[in-house]
Structure 1
Amino acid sequence: MTPLDFFIEPLNYGFMLRALITTLIASVVCAVLSCWLVLIGWSLMGDAVSHAVLPGVVLAYIIGAPFAVGAVVFGFLAVLLIGIVRDTSRVKEDAAIGIVFTTLFALGLVLISVTPSNTDLNHIIFGNLLGVSWADLTQIIVLGALTLVILIVKRRDFTLYAFDPTHAHAIGLSPRLLGAMLLALLALTAVVALQAVGVILVVAMLIIPGATAYLLSNRFNRMLLIAPTISAGCAVIGLYASYYFDTASGGMVVLTQGSAFLMVYLFSPQHGLVSTRLSKRRREKDHLAST
């Protein structure tokens, strides 16, 4: 098999072509949003919203509404409930997040178990990358494009909100509105990624790319380029690996992202564990030699 055949063979199948497009869109959108989630410190919130949208997606399926509508509604409901539990009890925010998102996730599981369906709704949980239809792909393209455009257009406001919400308020921006917009985009992004990796692994795609880029650059604008580039590369590698090794597609994509993070964590020039220790030893040797 020639290298060209290696790349072309999977694309001879329509389901693989749709899977590749879906994975690339989901990876890029999740990666761009993940930069802000990592910067703000919303990793747990990303986990909460991505799991809490499950009952909204199932209810939307039951009544025949778009998945995005149910996801956004339950995404905001999760945030509202977390705030209520945190502000009206002695429970701290991290515990409130855990309580709310696990309860809503469990509600989604119950709804799936009692909902008669001609399709396997468990694909919402575990993903169904190879089963994406052209109709599903159209929805993913529309939601992905909408999310990405808003993130790009509002990137300066979101970045200021992430670094200094007080200054954002002082110049006339509404931190509350910007936070709500990010949460809405988070819910929409979860819907985009559902088809690729399912609810369980969505949080990985929302956190790993941003964390990886954060270890590679101290400048946020560069993070916005590094994160989707790495994420898209991992999407292609993971999907092709799943084809040739006959493994779960969504799981392999996320595993590839995790492997990329591990390599950066160890060998990043400025922040890598191995690189910094070698640099420290080199400085110590230079210091001893000079004395």
Structure 2
Amino acid sequence: MLTWLIEPLGFEFMRNAIAIGVLIGILSAVIGSYLIVQHMGLLGDVVAHAVLPGLAIAFYIGMDIFLGAFIAGTISTFVVAWIQTHSKIKVDTAMALVFSGFLALGVMLITTLKSKLDLHSFLFGDILGVTTADLWRTLIIAIAVLACVIIFYRELIFYCFDPLASKAMGLPVHFIHFGLMAGITLTIIASMQSVGVVLVVSLLTGPAATAYLLVKELHLMMALGALFGVIASVSGMYISYYQNVPSGSAIVLIISGMFLFALLFSPSQGILTKKAISSRVKNLVRNSSARKPDKTFL
């Protein structure tokens, strides 16, 4: 058993992949918790695909592609907010429009600019190709984002649960919104290398949603979600190594399995447990009614 655990760690690419998977698992769960409580899980998917134009332009002009991705992703969130505040269009429709528009623009730019950007790696990730530089970049992003979450934890909770009240209290809601969108975009940029934009939304929402079914407080949701993210990332890498399957897909399938298990068996929210509790309550009511004396003859 010990040999089975140690063998993959003998390769540098596996050590880098597991390390970056742990960092992303923690970071995605923390940021994803804010998306879940705001009912905006689709925003992660929007930003993940909206970075494509920024990648194409940055690659063409020789700029850092991650900086281009950050700019494009941030712009997409402001476009969603602008459509929502200046029209009758609901936020889900705005996100769908921005998602499709930015994705189409990115594909068009890659074709027009004759970019040699590896679209397959961008869409599906290549965690086994992670370099030491990628690992350090992800570590810096994770430390910066998590530090901001810790420092502004109270303000973020207030904003996420009651934006109008937080504005009335004088909190800088626009600054908080920008910071949250920047954190989401940075998390997606960090995750692109491992699972790609197609599966990154699962990392953002899966562990957090699983924890949401099990606990009630946000800080517990973040902690438990981070644990689920780490378990899924490490387990997915070991499965990928020994079964020769795509790493990103293995990680996401484990996350999906965790969510399904919680959905069915959560003590308070599980589909099967709620049915069992409901059936038990009905039996107790029926038995107590049967034991009541018949007052007709009294």
Q: What's the CA shift for 1:221?
A: 1.7
**What is the match of residue 211 of structure 2?**
213
Q: Deviations over 1:22-79 (max 9, x none)?
A: 1111111000001111001111222211211122123223333334422221122212
Q: Does 1:142 align with 2:140?
A: yes
**What is the match of residue 46 of structure 1?**
44
Root mean square deviation, CA, Å: 1.7
- Report the 3-state secondary structure (helix = DSSP H, G, I; strand = E; otherwise coil) of the residue aligned with 1:122: helix
| AA aligned opposite 1:274 | L
Q: What's the CA shift for 1:88?
A: 5.2
Name whichever of 83-92 and 159-168 sits farther off. Answer: 83-92
**What is the match of residue 224 of structure 1?**
222
Q: Does 1:22 align with 2:20?
A: yes
Q: What's the CA shift for 1:176?
A: 1.8
Q: Tell me the distance in 2 between the aligned counterparts of 1:81 and 1:192.
A: 22
Q: Deviations over 1:125-155 (max 9, x none)?
A: 1101111111221211111221121122212
- Give the alignment's TM-score, normalised by structure 1: 0.93
Q: Tell me the distance in 2 between the aligned counterparts of 1:25 and 1:214.
A: 20
**What is the match of residue 104 of structure 2?**
106
Name whichever of 166-175 and 140-149 sits farther off. Answer: 166-175
Q: Tell me the distance in 2 between the aligned counterparts of 1:83 and 1:156.
A: 23
Q: Tell me the distance in 1 between the aligned counterparts of 2:63 and 2:24.
A: 21
Q: Tell me the distance in 1 between the aligned counterparts of 2:248 and 2:171.
A: 38
Q: Tell me the distance in 1 between the aligned counterparts of 2:108 and 2:266.
A: 44
**What is the match of residue 130 of structure 1?**
128
Q: Tell me the distance in 2 between the aligned counterparts of 1:40 and 1:121.
A: 31
Q: Tell me the distance in 2 between the aligned counterparts of 1:167 and 1:262.
A: 35
Q: Tell me the distance in 1 between the aligned counterparts of 2:38 and 2:65.
A: 27
**How many residue pairs are counted as aligned between the two chains?**
288
Q: What's the CA shift for 1:124?
A: 1.3
What 5-or-longer segments of structure 1 have no aligned partner? none
Residues 112 and 122 in structure 1, CA contact (< 8 A), matched pair in contact too: no
- Report the 3-state secondary structure (helix = DSSP H, G, I; strand = E; otherwise coil) of the residue aligned with 1:69: helix
Within 5 Å, give how 1:60-209 maps onto structure 2.
Answer: 60-86=58-84, 91-113=89-111, 114-117=113-116, 120-209=118-207
Within 5 Å, give how 1:8-19 maps onto structure 2.
Answer: 8-19=6-17
Residues 25 and 203 in structure 2, CA contact (< 8 A), matched pair in contact too: yes
- Report the 3-state secondary structure (helix = DSSP H, G, I; strand = E; otherwise coil) of the residue aligned with 1:8: helix
Q: Tell me the distance in 2 between the aligned counterparts of 1:84 and 1:237.
A: 41
Q: Tell me the distance in 1 between the aligned counterparts of 2:138 and 2:114.
A: 24
Q: 1:181 to 1:24 in 2, by over 3 A?
A: same
Q: 1:235 to 1:219 in 2, by over 3 A?
A: same
Residues 235 and 251 in structure 2, CA contact (< 8 A), matched pair in contact too: yes
**What is the match of residue 240 of structure 1?**
238
Residues 24 and 187 in structure 2, CA contact (< 8 A), matched pair in contact too: yes
Name whichever of 98-107 and 236-245 sits farther off. Answer: 98-107
Percent of pairs with identical residues: 34
**What is the match of residue 279 of structure 1?**
277
Q: Deviations over 1:234-281 (max 9, x none)?
A: 111111111111111011101100100000000011111111111111
Q: What's the CA shift for 1:100?
A: 1.3
What 5-or-longer segments of structure 2 have no aligned partner? 290-298
Q: What's the CA shift for 1:103?
A: 1.8
- Give the alignment's TM-score, normalised by structure 2: 0.91
Residues 71 and 188 in structure 1, CA contact (< 8 A), matched pair in contact too: no
Q: What's the CA shift for 1:287?
A: 1.2
Residues 38 and 161 in structure 2, CA contact (< 8 A), matched pair in contact too: yes
